Structure 1
C-alpha cells in the first residue's frame, strides 16, 4: 500500500494511530523486562525511544520517525525487529505492518536457517560448551543452548556489542567489566576500520553512544584492539564462577562472519559447574 497516495485526513489518522500504538507498547515494558538498567532520574514510563531503537538494531532517528508516523521507507526485517523488542503478539505484529503500509508476510523462519548446515552441526556439536556465530556488525546469527544459558542471550539480544553495554544481567555477571568494556570497544572500532564504506558501523556506534553513557565515554577515547583468542570470566547467578578460554575463527562460507568457541579453563572447576547448569553430568568429562 502506497501511503503517500492516501487522502490527507487518512494519513493524519494513520500517523496518530501508529504514534499511540507504539507509545503504548513502549510504556508497558520496563528496562528490567529487556535486561537494561533503569538509570537514575528516569521520567519516561516504560522504554525510551533510543532504547527500543538500539535493541531492535535500527537508527534512533528512523525509529522516532516511525513512531511519529512519518512517510518513511520500511521493510519487513526492521518491523519484525521492532515487534520483537516490543514483544508484540501475532495480531499486534500484523497491526504494525498495516499501519506501516506493508502487507504482513507469513511468520519469519528462524534466522539460524541462514547458517550452513555444516556450521550448524559444529555449533551444536560443541555442546555442552558455548558457541555462537556473529556477522561483521557483531549481530548474533546462530547461538547454541550453552551460550544462551551461560551468557543469558535471549530473544531481544541480537547484537553482542548492544548486549554487552545494555544488558544489566550480563554486566552484573561479567568479571572485570570495565577492562572488558574497553577491550570490546577497541575491537569494534578496529572492525569498523576494515569496512570504511559500510555506514552500519557508524550508525550502530552513534546509537550506542545515545543509549549507553559508558560506551560513549570509552568510544570518545578511541581505543583500538583486536583479539582472536582470550579469556572470559563471569559470576553466573546459578552456576557460580565460570572461566572460559575462547577462540574466534573466520567463517569462509560467510565472509565477515566469525565463529566463537568457548572452552572451560583448566583447573577452574568450570567444566563441572557447566555440566551441572545444563543438567548433563557426562558433560564434565568432555
Structure 2
C-alpha cells in the first residue's frame, strides 16, 4: 500500500469514528473531541489499539479482509461505506452479502409501470421475481396470481408446461438460463446458499439436472439478446431484452423486454389496458 493510499484510508477511518455517538455504545465520560476514541474502536473490533492508531495515522500497512470486516462492524458502516473502506484498504470491493428481498419500493415500481408496452421484472440473484409491470403479467406470467414462493423463473421454465410451450426454442432458452443463473448466484455470494433450490430442481426436472451438470456460465450480455415467445393470444412475439443493476446492488436486477415490432407494441398496450380494466 502506498503512503498516499494509507493516509486516505486513515482519514476515512477517522472521519467515520468521529461521527459516532459514544453514549449509544455505552461509553461515558467527558470528551475533548467528538465520536469514539481510537481504543474504543479497537476494543469493539477486537484488534490492537496501537495498530488501529497506526491505521488512522497512515502507517499501519494493509489490513486483511477479516480485520476490515471487524472494523466495519465496530464503526457501524453502511454497505456503501463498507465497500469504500475495502477499496481503500485492499483495492477491491468486499465479498457480497446477500439480503433476502420480498418486494421493491414505490419508486422502483413506478419505473416498471412507466413501461407500458415493455414487459419488465425485477429479480433476485436466486431468480425470484419480486416486482413486475402489467406488460409482464400479460406477456410473460401473471405473477400476481401466484404465491411469493412460487415466483421463481427456473421453477416456471422447468416445471410449468405452459411456460415451456411459450418458448420458441425451449432447449436454447434453458441452456442460457441455467448458465446465467449459475453465474448470478456466484457473483452474489450465494453458491452455498442456493443448494436447496438446485437440489429440488434436480429432483423434479431431469432437464435441469442435465444442464446443471454441464457446469457452464454465461452473462446476460452474451448471445443475441432477443427473446421469441409463442403467446396463446398475441401470437409470435420477438423482443430484445436488457438487464440493469438495481440501485447498484449485485443481488437485484431489472430485466426489460422491448418489442421489435411497433404493431406488436400497440397490441401489448391494448392487452395491458384490458388487463387493467379486468383488475379494476
The TM-score with structure 2 as length reference comes to 0.55
Q: Deviations over 1:23-72 (max 9, x none)?
A: xxxxxxxxxxxxxxxxxxxxxxxxxxxxxxxxxxxxxxxxxxxxxxxxxx
Note the C-alpha offset of 1:122: 0.3
Matching residue of 2:121? 132
Matching residue of 1:278? 272
Unaligned stretches of 5+ in structure 1? 1-110, 281-286
Unaligned stretches of 5+ in structure 2? 1-100, 275-280
| Greater Rg over alpha carbons, structure | 2
Matching residue of 2:46? none
Matching residue of 2:11? none
Partner of 2:127, secondary structure, is: coil
1:183-202 equivalence runs, <5 A = 183-196=176-189, 198-202=191-195
Note the C-alpha offset of 1:127: 1.5
1:154-173 equivalence runs, <5 A = 154=143, 155-156=146-147, 157-173=150-166
Alignment of 1:222 with 2:215, yes or no, is yes
Q: Distance in 1 between matches of 2:270 and 2:114?
A: 18
Matching residue of 1:146? 135
Q: Deviations over 1:149-182 (max 9, x none)?
A: 1112331441111111111111001111101100
Q: Distance in 2 between matches of 1:223 and 1:259?
A: 23
Asked whether the equivalents of residues 242 and 273 of structure 1 are also in contact (C-alpha less than 8 Å), the reply is no
Note the C-alpha offset of 1:274: 1.7
Alignment of 1:263 with 2:258, yes or no, is yes
1:60-71 equivalence runs, <5 A = none
How many corresponding residue pairs?
168
Matching residue of 2:111? 122
- The structure-2 alpha-carbon separation of the partners of 1:202 and 1:241, relative to structure 1 and needing over 3 Å to count, comes to same
Asked whether the equivalents of residues 118 and 259 of structure 2 are also in contact (C-alpha less than 8 Å), the reply is yes
Aligned-CA RMSD value: 2.2
Q: Deviations over 1:219-272 (max 9, x none)?
A: 1111211114711111100110111111100012654100111111146x4223
